[in-house]
Amino acid sequence: MKWLLGTVVLLLAFGSPASAQDKPIPPNPQIEIEYVAPRDPRFQLRHDRMKQLRALELLQEFLAPLKLPRKLIVKMDECGGALIMPYKSQGTVTICYEYIAEIEATAPVEGVVLFGPGRKLTSQQTIAGAVVHLMLHQTAYAVFDILEIPIWGRLSDAVDNVAGFIMLEFGEEVAWTTLLGSAWFMAQRGLLGAGFFSDTARPSEAQRFYNFLCLANGAKPASYTFLVNSFNLPEPRAKFCKQDYLKLRGAFRKTFVAEHVDRELLVAVQKRIWLP
């Protein structure tokens, strides 16, 4: 809990106007939100802070360009001890307080992760990045369902890719915090023992971890070359990251932007400064 109180402000600054010149972004009228009061008192403070700092309202604004043909309900709720409440077709997106607690618990105890001179990831950023990814990831399930987007392969991979790609589209600070913060959480949650990550992680978490590192490296190789080898992205995999990113970008633009996005609103959202 100690991390949440000091760090959620960073997460929720993703909607705080950085200057008077920022134009207000109207919330997506098709997305309805709800903060459900938890039954377990351990989650009460999380509920109160998320509501106070307008986490779901900011998601409505962030997704303002998305054109949905019907209403979508996104709520924060207690999930009976589960980290994830699976999305069911035509159903509600649920962000579990339990998952947020798990994210907090994995924050680096030293307060910072160093990636070499001038490159660091703070505990605040690991929490913020993982929570942003959680919200986008869970919402993406419903978006694929509502828009009837065709999927080639596993749906879980598709929503991860969409969430990761979106996090790359809003500037260097947002990309660094969200992608590296998400990768940190996946790494910590997947570890089974000591040693090199690929040898000690659960296969599913390891795959997601490598996918996120590869996405960052493929989109911005000059900024994320340091991830190769010394930070667990194998060089043979890195050779294909640019190709994988370009395929994802093409698919996203063709599948989402061309038919289901208000381009004028998209430009406004991309211009907004989501981190102070």
Cα–Cα dist 248/165, whole Å: 8
Listed in sequence order, the residues at least 6 apart from 248 whose beta carbon sits closer than 8 Å to its beta carbon are 161, 165, 215
Whole-Å CA distances, 239 to 122, 189, 220, 236, 251:
29, 27, 13, 6, 20
> What pLDDT score was predicted for residue 201?
44
pLDDT of residue 228: 86
Q: pLDDT tens across 209-249, in order?
A: 888 889 999 999 888 888 886 667 888 888 999 999 999 99
In this model, does residue 73 exceed pLDDT 50?
Answer: yes
Residue with the two structure tokens 């381009």 = 263
pLDDT tens digit string along 94-132?
999 999 999 988 888 888 888 777 788 899 888 888 999
Going by C-alpha positions, the residue among 14, 4, 104, 88 that lies closest to residue 57 is: 14
pLDDT at 78 over 60: yes
End-to-end Cα distance, the chain: 23
Tell me if 223 sits within 8 A of 172, measured CB to CB: yes
What is the Cα–Cα distance from 99 to 137, expressed in whole angstroms?
Answer: 13
Is the distance from CB of 76 to CB of 49 less than 8 angstroms? no
In Å, how far from its chain's centre is CA 145?
Answer: 19
The answer to whether 10 and 128 have CB atoms below 8 angstroms apart is yes
Q: For residue 273, what pLDDT is reported?
A: 76
The answer to whether the beta carbons of residues 211 and 232 sit under 8 Å apart is: no
Work out the percent of the chain whose per-residue pLDDT is above 70: 84
Residue 1 has pLDDT above 50, yes or no: no
* pLDDT tens string 8-56: 434 444 444 444 345 688 999 999 999 999 999 999 999 998 898 788 9
